[in-house]
Amino acid sequence: MQSVAVRLICDREQEIREFQPREYWIITAHLQSGRKPFEAKLLSRGKEKIDLEDESAARNVLNGLQGASYLVVKIISRQRKRRPQAPFTTSTLQQEAAGVLNFPVRKTMQIAQQLYEGLDMGKEGAVGLITYMRTDSPQISEQARQAARDFILDTYGPDYVPSLPPVYKSTGRAQEAHEAIRPTLAERSPDKVKSFLSRDQHRLYKLIWERFIASQMNPAVMDATTVDIQAGEYLFRASGSVVRFPGFLKVYKEKEATETVLPELHEGELLTLVDLDPAQHFTQPSPRYTEAALVKMLEEKGIGRPSTYATIIETIQSRGYVVKQEKNLAPTELGFIVDDLLKDYFPQIVDVKFTASMEEKLDEVEEGGTAWQSIVEEFYQPFEENLEHAERVIENISLAEEQSEEKCPKCGRYLTIKQGRYGKFLACPGFPECRHTKPYYERTGVSCPRCGGMIVERRSRQGRRFYGCSNYPDCDFSTWDEPSPHNCPDCGNFLVYTGRERRLFCSNCNKKFEEETAPDENRT
């Protein structure tokens, strides 16, 4: 399972390295109905959807829009329901805790274990606050369902209680031995237990409690509106939604449940154009896996089980195959080498479909449907042959050591760059006679604006990347933004890269620049 996880991360990294970004432009019309502003995006020319590949194409459209009137030609309003999500399983809890609370998978499981085992609730004594936290079933007991419905009725009123309880189906080969992760008592709200819990315990319990209560509530009702606006031969579109009845959103706020409110518009209405905004964009590769995204992918492909996700992620990092860069998982040189060797000599081990199939067979063994001896024999015979072949052919693998420009202060040798559990570090090649080591910082080639030293990439205690002067602690200059090789023409401060599109920005005078028109270089 660990090998498949490394395979997924290596494959994604290769995709990112080979990705060729494609330029495209979006034109936004800033409009007014009366004095109420809103935005609409360019959609098409006539009935043909428009694709602006470069600035020239965007300028041609802007020229074609000169003097155009903006007329509302169609308004479509419809009511839709947003249904609550199921109570948490292990994987969905790990994903949501990562996205909402910024918890690593291991931390989520450690705190969930504490909530499950029980905490001192004062006069109540030690109380288990949640059900078992290793489960892939979204089902809950009838007793828990009724308790939730009673709580919702008493707290929020009858409009929030569905006539029929929601039913959530298991996915794949979910085992029904355990319920979904839920509070042991619905009426034990987060506010009631807050004084007995640590901050992180309370935050995770609140997430679990709210998700469970919300899962038993009525859907939210949304009014969704789409407005088509004709401007000459071009068509713009504006979309918005308003929550008419909050339903489960009364308890559990979802990220995507934000409102975009449009003013009251009418077909045939003539709008006022405030501004046309052309914006350059570039297509982006699939992002690197976060811990939560990797758990989701493993679950979708049938790799691992609720009890193993955290262990898989911890193992591939502790063995140095993968490092965490901010929130993202990136393969190391060792990870690539191991993945290549496994693909060459043990193709089944890193094959996603084979591993998922083996998981299913092991489930059948657990359920008593298949004898384990036949499955082990089927796997082990070809594996033993591959292992013997690999032992004959593969030589000991050692990573090539890169020599740095720094000398060891103890013995004078040039320090080498090594890959450790927590990333790269500098070490004296004279080990074990000389054991000098120090952190390794990536040089940016940009000079420090305070002392003229080198700006280097560093890591905070929480693993977040930042940039600081190599002369620290004598110079304590630092910034979260990546420095660029360009200086601001007005104040002389170096420009930094901001956003996914890496636009240049001066943090001193708040001016933006495009890379190709950026001022003089600031390399040392």
Q: Could you give the CA distance from residue 504 to residue 99 in angstroms, rounded to a whole number?
A: 28
Per DSSP (E only), the strands in 232-371 are 234-245, 270-282, 322-325, 328-331
The distance from CA 227 to its chain's CA centroid, rounded to whole angstroms, is 32
Instruction: Phi first, then psi: give them for residue 372, nearest 5 degrees.
Output: -65, -30
Q: Are 107 and 93 in contact (CB under 8 A)?
A: no
Asked if residues 177 and 364 have their Cβ atoms less than 8 Å apart, the reply is: no
Token digits of residue 119: 């905490």
Q: Which two tokens stand for residue 456?
A: 């280097």
Contact present, 109 and 312 (Cβ < 8 Å): no
Query: Which stretches of 48-141 are DSSP H helices?
Result: 55-64, 90-96, 105-117
132 is catalytic: yes
Question: In sequence order, what E strands does 116-199 have?
Answer: 119-120, 126-127
If one counts every other C-beta atom within 10 angstroms of the C-beta of residue 158, the result is 9
> 344 by DSSP, 3-state: which?
helix
Helix (H) or strand (E) holding 513: strand 512-513
Task: List, in order, residues 6 or more apart from 469 with CB less than 8 Å away.
Answer: 448, 450, 451, 453, 454, 455, 456, 475, 476, 477, 478
Q: How far is CA 74 from the centre of its chain?
A: 37
Catalytic-role residue among 132, 422, 472, 497: 132
Q: Which active-site residues does the annotation give?
A: 132
